[in-house]
Structure 1
Amino acid sequence: MKLRQLVQQHAQTFPWYDALIRESGADAGRLDTLPPMTEALLTRHYYHDQQALPSPVHSYLTSGTRSGQRKCIRYSQHDQQRYLQQRSAIIQHFCGTQYTRACADLGTGHAAATAGQIFKAMGCQVELIDFTLPVDAHVEALNRFQPEIFFTMPMILDRLIASGKLDFQPRKILLLGDVASAHWQASILACFALPPGSILDLYGSIEIGAIAHYRHDIERYVLDDYLLPEVVAPQTIYPDAHHQGCGGLLLLTSFARDYFPAVRFVTDDLIEGFAHEIVDGKPRHTFSRCLGRFASEYKHGEKINLCDISDAIAQHLPLRRYDLDDGNGSLTIRIGGDSVDAATLKAIRHDLLARNPDVAQMIASGLVADIRILCVDAQDIRDQASKRRY
């Protein structure tokens, strides 16, 4: 399918997208003229739209938009089949055929909902761990089932290991959701006494589906071949950004999505080392590493929108400056100025988690660390709290 045909297809499915293309004067056959699909644009037109679609849909919810409502992302049956085929092929090639027990502990979302189907198609016995259970129940399930293939998120795996109670020996570990640095992966291999190449880092999003996977033989991430990627300076999408660091924003156009207008979708992920090269005799797009997220979403098991944090603080501590630190596997909100009474801090935390119930549940289950709120000297607060720091 050519780009013009893809744009026309989405314009026919989504009247708002048709109007957007017309109003912008874009040339449907020229990628650089088409409007980027930002979170603000999709919140206005897609995430909460109840438009009837031509055929049955698979709907998935994720937390946090500026409106305070959860996002709803829809897949057609064809979308779903293409995702399962692509992700299954990568996982099965990595795992081989000798393993028979697979477990997924992924929280919520599209990957969590489809992991069981992928493993069953591989002929595995499958255990899916409910993210609402406390962390000790996750550990008990893993120790009892003894999976050879374990599919999880880095943040969850950290919490499981920190329990000190794990007693199982995975042979292959599949990762999704958080940045998994080379040093972190090396520590996981050492923890489970696994040889190099035993971890598969998958990269995806609920909007696009499968995006890329890490190839140990070339030490690069390879993007799926139905994607047309772009890497642009953050200022291209966010004119007020003052990004001075490495990498650029990844934009994706997908030729494998019917029920999401994936044309120049702004992933808000910073990547570096982007290249177009020959892999296995075919031209492929690759990159060296994902640096994390840019702009207004912070990842704490599930996404927390910056607007939710700002609203909670503005309600209880108006005009107080703050910044955020989401390193070391936790999210810390630092508020500048005089000390704040415990009741106010508790109210801020309560309001924030009320807007992000999946994050609240993952904290209650012990899968991610609690959100910390603390007071610091006002002079220590970093400006531009809404911009990611790389």
Structure 2
Amino acid sequence: MTLAMPIQQQVELIGKLHPWYTEWLAQLGLHTSVQNVAELPLVTSEVLEQGYYAVSSRTEPGLSVYRTSGTSSGKRKSIYYSESDDERYIDAKMTSFQEWLGSDLPSVRKALADMGTGHAASTAVTIFEKMGFVADSLSFSSPIEEHIARLDTFKPDLLYTMPSILDGIAAAAPAPSAFGIKKIIVVGEIATLEWQANMAERFGIQRSDILDTYGSIEIGAIAAYSHELGKYVLSEGLFAEALPAEQIDPSFSPLQENEGVLVLTSFVRSMFPAIRFVTYDVVRDFETHIVNGVPRQTFRCISKRIGSELKHGEKISLYDIEEVVNRYVHDAELRVRISGNKLAVHIKSKTLDEAMIETIQQAIEVKIPEIGEMIQNRILSGIVVTKATDNEQLERGAVKAKKIYS
């Protein structure tokens, strides 16, 4: 696939805005006058900690700053956006949403953003207002009863939310289809096709009426699911690679043959050094498709993360676990947790019975052979599948609710 513009131009821009990047290249015997992305080093989490996150707070006018989880030093990460970065992000989101809505766009008048904090949440109302919608937002920290009440009073045509929040709404509402929601956009966590189909049925819409989007605070908009292709399509202005895990870090275990770690180079981001940025997200079936006569990079799904954020993450696919559970339980709200060396899958469902629990447990082992191997090798002591009580609130700190992608 051809790059959006010469890589040298982007490297020079990043070097000017982030002098440590140019100094780092020089230490490696490299220069900014490169002609090929593959000539450049990978920007790993360690590189960012030593460079980007170690720099003093930026004071240029017009910057937005988003703070996320801490570094190994205990200092919280500060990720910056310039005004042009924000404008490009908003434009990318608008383009994605408009392409998906297509001829249904005129039927959407009101949009509600019901999600977490961060970049996606802070820009949602602006995006929808620029699209001509009446827009409002709701804090994810509000009790679920407030989410239900707001949906009842505002009656949005389009709901923009996170999968775990949508799980909670669907579980708490007597009849989710009664809200009259026509379209749903999700962001922030894994959303398998089975989960999307189950959720569409509960809200009285088609699976194609749900748009799963993928992004990160570092990059911005990354990809959106195409129901026509059955793949996630990378946003314009990005160049992606899917690399073997061992190329990222020799200590990482090999992935499946059709998997690779997503590495991104952005030609629309300036206040973050997104040049061969390692996302640590594992994608499947990465390839290039011709879409409307233009080559676009695609992948089938994100299966998991690798690296230090999730122990055993190189082996355990959260995507596959969710896919299995939703195959058997259509109203499942689940959390996956690794405690010590035990994998726990906790399911909240009105239809789950005790007989299904052992079936689900066995199906997970069959679906993910690596789990069976880890149990056999005593890396994991086993899988525990449990059912939540009807009035139990599932914690947001568990792996399933973790920000796998946003």
**TM-score bracket for this pair, using the shorter chain length:** 0.7 to 0.9
Does 1:16 find its partner at 2:28?
A: no
Deviations 1:247-282 (A, max 9, x none): 100000000011111000001111111112211111
Match of 2:303 among 271, 291, 299: 291
Aligned length: 323
Q: Distance in 2 between matches of 1:147 and 1:153?
A: 16
Mapping of residues 1-390 of structure 1, within 5 Å: 1-26=5-30, 28-47=34-53, 49-52=55-58, 54-95=60-101, 96-165=105-174, 166=176, 167-245=178-256, 246-298=258-310, 329-335=334-340, 369=395, 371=397
- Stretch deviating more after TM superposition (62-71 or 18-27): 62-71
Q: Structure 1 pair 58/169, CA: closer, same or farther in 2 (3 Å)?
A: same
Q: Distance in 2 between matches of 1:70 and 1:191?
A: 39
Q: CA deviation at 1:120?
A: 0.8
- The one-letter code sitting in structure 1 at the alignment partner of 2:8 is R
Q: CA deviation at 1:49?
A: 2.7
**Structure 1 length-normalised TM:** 0.77
| Secondary structure, aligned partner of 1:129 | strand
Q: CA deviation at 1:152?
A: 0.8
Alpha carbons 1:160, 1:367 under 8 Å: kept: no
| Secondary structure, aligned partner of 1:47 | coil
| Secondary structure, aligned partner of 1:330 | strand
- The one-letter code sitting in structure 2 at the alignment partner of 1:237 is I
Q: CA deviation at 1:238?
A: 1.5
Q: CA deviation at 1:55?
A: 4.5
CA-atom RMSD in angstroms = 2.5
Alpha carbons 2:303, 2:317 under 8 Å: kept: no
Q: Distance in 2 between matches of 1:115 and 1:275?
A: 30
| Secondary structure, aligned partner of 1:49 | coil
Q: Structure 1 pair 64/368, CA: closer, same or farther in 2 (3 Å)?
A: farther
Structure 2 unaligned regions, length at least 5: 323-333, 343-391
Q: Distance in 1 between matches of 2:398 and 2:84?
A: 42
Q: Distance in 1 between matches of 2:122 and 2:77?
A: 16
Q: CA deviation at 1:128?
A: 0.5
Alpha carbons 2:222, 2:235 under 8 Å: kept: yes
Identity across the alignment (%) = 36
Q: Distance in 2 between matches of 1:371 and 1:123?
A: 36
| Secondary structure, aligned partner of 2:184 | strand
Alpha carbons 1:276, 1:283 under 8 Å: kept: yes
Alpha carbons 1:155, 1:367 under 8 Å: kept: no
Structure 1 unaligned regions, length at least 5: 299-305, 307-322, 338-365, 374-387
Q: Distance in 2 between matches of 1:119 and 1:39?
A: 33
Q: Distance in 1 between matches of 2:130 and 2:95?
A: 11
Q: Distance in 1 between matches of 2:68 and 2:394?
A: 17
Alpha carbons 1:47, 1:71 under 8 Å: kept: yes
Q: Distance in 2 between matches of 1:285 and 1:19?
A: 31
